């Protein structure tokens, strides 16, 4: 059975920037879903944080990953996730339970923001200079912190 990925922001094929678009267009959309957590507006991109005890939900979509292991490696690189050094990663990829629109649940990979929400990403992080303009779709506006976006 293929792995699933919960997306709540700029990895969504409808919002992906050019540099990752060719990878995310290979994902197969399975439906809408939510995860427990908080979504923060980090300026150039949103970041979900898993906070114990929160009742807040982050809305997004579930996608099936292709069998190609290079897909996850490309997504990890884009999200600045270093599997061997998660403490140095901007985002960490971990599995969590996603509640789908029909009430069923699936275990999915999710990229969680790996810094305090008030902290700026490290200057060495490549994402800090990225322009979030998807191909032929115009500029993306990240909603305020309370708004819910797909990733």
Residue 146 has pLDDT above 90, yes or no: no
For the chain, the domains span: 4-124
Average pLDDT over every residue of 131-135: 35
Q: Are 45 and 79 in contact (CB under 8 A)?
A: no
Backbone angles phi, psi at 147, to 5 degrees: -70, 155
Give the pLDDT confidence of 45-70 residue by residue, as tens digits.
Answer: 899 998 878 889 999 999 999 999 89
| pTM, two decimal places | 0.77
Task: Say how far residue 119 (Cα) sits from the centre of its chain.
Answer: 18
- The whole-chain average pLDDT of the chain stands at 81
Give me the mean pLDDT over the 20-42 stretch: 95
What is the C-alpha separation between 24 and 141, in angstroms, rounded? 19
- 4-124 CATH fold: Hypothetical upf0131 protein ytfp (3.10.490)
Band of residue 119 on the pLDDT scale cut at 50, 70, 90: low
């Amino acid at each position: 059975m293929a792995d699933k990925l919960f997306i709540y922001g700029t990895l969504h094929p409808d919002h992906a920037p050019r540099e990752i678009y060719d990878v995310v267009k290979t994902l197969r959309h399975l439906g809408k879903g939510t995860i427990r957590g908080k979504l923060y507006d980090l300026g150039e991109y949103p970041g979900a944080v898993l906070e114990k005890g929160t009742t807040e939900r982050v809305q997004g979509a579930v996608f099936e990953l292709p069998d190609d292991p290079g897909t996850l490696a490309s997504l990890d690189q884009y999200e600045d996730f270093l599997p061997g050094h998660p403490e140095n990663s901007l985002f960490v990829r971990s599995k969590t339970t996603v509640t789908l629109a029909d009430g069923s649940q699936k275990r999915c990979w999710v990229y969680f923001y790996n810094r305090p929400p008030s902290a700026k990403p490290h200057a060495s992080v490549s994402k800090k200079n990225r322009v979030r303009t998807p191909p032929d779709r115009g500029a993306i506006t990240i909603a305020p912190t309370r708004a819910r976006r797909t990733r």
